[in-house]
Structure 1
Amino acid sequence: MASALAEVAALGGFFALRTDAPDEGWHPVGASYARGFADLATAVADRYRTDLRVGVSIAQLGHAARLWSPVLACTLLHGIVPDLDTLRREDTGSALGLPAPAGWYADRLAEPEHTLGAQVMDHLARLEAGLAVRIAPRLLDGNAASALMGSAGVLLAARPDIRGPLTRLVDRLLGTGRLVGTGSVTGPGLGFRRRSCCLYYRTPGGSTCGDCCLAR
């Protein structure tokens, strides 16, 4: 698992899960969820000069991408679904790590997409439960789907040879649990049109994202 994670980290920052992070300066990500991701949400709101609700949405979207990216890549490129149970977060940033990397061989799972999806969506459900501001659940589900498809697009660009299995996997994921009905794939390049908005357009100078339901 550690070897697979090290290899997929080369695809970009969102694909990195550190396995060598020291105890000092890191904490179980569940502690961040219990605090409603307040530090990152506030930092995002301050950076974009917007309200906390928008900051929460953007922070959750970024976190979702950091969860989906290494899990998708490890599953498709190495046949291993990472176990995110021991996930930790850097105290002063958004980086994530696994102090004890473990996982499941995908070909030994009856429905690997369910195991993969649960690893990410369970984390996002715990984050949502701790939020101190009201965010529409379907907005957060749309963020999860948008992050999934963004991660898949980066992976496809890096490894066009896995288009078939990648497309099949994201189709199955979009057909499970809270991702059902969040949007639709719009082309062979894994373009996506979501049915909700992450609220980024409400930041000063902000615009709609490419997959937004409000985009023309």
Structure 2
Amino acid sequence: MKSPRQAPAPRVAEALEEAAAFGTFFTIERGGPDKGWHPVEEAYTAGCADLIAATCDRYGTREQRVGASVMQLGHAARLWSPVLACAVVQGIVPDLEGLHRADDGPALRLPASPTGWYVEGVPAMTEALYTVVVTRRLDALAAGLRVRVAPRLLAGNAASALVEAARAVLAARPDRRGILTAVVEGLLSTGRLSGAGKVTGPDLTFRRRSCCLYYRVPSGEKCEDCSLAG
């Protein structure tokens, strides 16, 4: 497959701005002072221990693997949402190189002018999205975790976050149903996501083959896409 064509920074910024209108998880801050932010790679190397602790405190659990799972699920959603929206709406996949994370929470930021690529066709879009989100980010996060979490659980979280992001895009842009469905199904057949779950309906309903463990927190319950749900 030929290399994708570079998109100019203003077009990438425009795509990210449009995506941000879809919701909080679609927002990646851009520019501004570096104070209060750090490279996301540093967070991965540290096992995202601060976010895991904050997640455990928020949900009132002492189970570190539950906190790690819920944290990873949320981070995956913050990665998939903007890049998926940019891809299927504008035909641009943003490059998240240099991505920062807030010192005090999960928010994400690109400190410099955003770069990215034009993508045409489902295979090219699928490959680019998998590389940007899974290969370069979620694999690094998983490698740095100091808490034992099953790889298939993490893959299920990534798949669930992907489909949830796609449903949000579908709600905002129903005209993109065809390309959204094709890209999601392509991603669910790629690499670590293969076998993690499947789309079960035209509105991107989904059933995963693992459980994120959220039901183990006080007042928690099984998610709609959980493999344990009846």
Asked if 1:174 is matched to 2:185, the reply is no
Answer whether contact 1:21 1:97 (CA < 8 A) is retained. Answer: no
Asked if 1:204 is matched to 2:218, the reply is yes
RMSD over aligned Cα atoms:
1.3
Asked if 1:35 is matched to 2:46, the reply is yes
Cα shift at 1:99: 1.8
Task: Output the TM-score relative to the length of structure 2.
Answer: 0.91
Question: Structure 1: where are the runs of 5+ without partners?
Answer: none
Cα shift at 1:21: 3.5
Query: C-alpha distance in 2, partners of 1:94/1:115?
Result: 23
What secondary structure is seen at the aligned counterpart in 1 of 2:97?
coil
What secondary structure is seen at the aligned counterpart in 1 of 2:222?
coil
Partner of 2:13: 2
Query: C-alpha distance in 2, partners of 1:70/1:205?
Result: 30
Partner of 1:104: 117
What secondary structure is seen at the aligned counterpart in 1 of 2:101?
strand
Task: Output the TM-score relative to the length of structure 1.
Answer: 0.97
Cα 1:21–1:59 change in 2 (3 A) is farther
- Corresponding letter in the other structure for 2:194: V
- Corresponding letter in the other structure for 1:103: G
Query: C-alpha distance in 2, partners of 1:152/1:112?
Result: 14
Q: 2:138 aligns with which of 124, 128, 134?
A: 124
Q: How does 1:37-76 map to 2 (within 5 A)?
A: 37-50=48-61, 51-76=63-88
Partner of 2:93: 81
1:169-210 per-position Cα deviation (integer Å, ceiling 9, x unaligned):
111111111000001101001000000000000001111000
Q: 2:160 aligns with which of 121, 146, 161?
A: 146
Answer whether contact 2:122 2:179 (CA < 8 A) is retained. Answer: no
What secondary structure is seen at the aligned counterpart in 2 of 1:11?
coil
Cα shift at 1:20: 2.5
Q: Which deviates more from structure 2 when the two are superposed, residues 183-192 or residues 109-118?
A: 109-118
Question: Structure 2: where are the runs of 5+ without partners?
Answer: 1-11
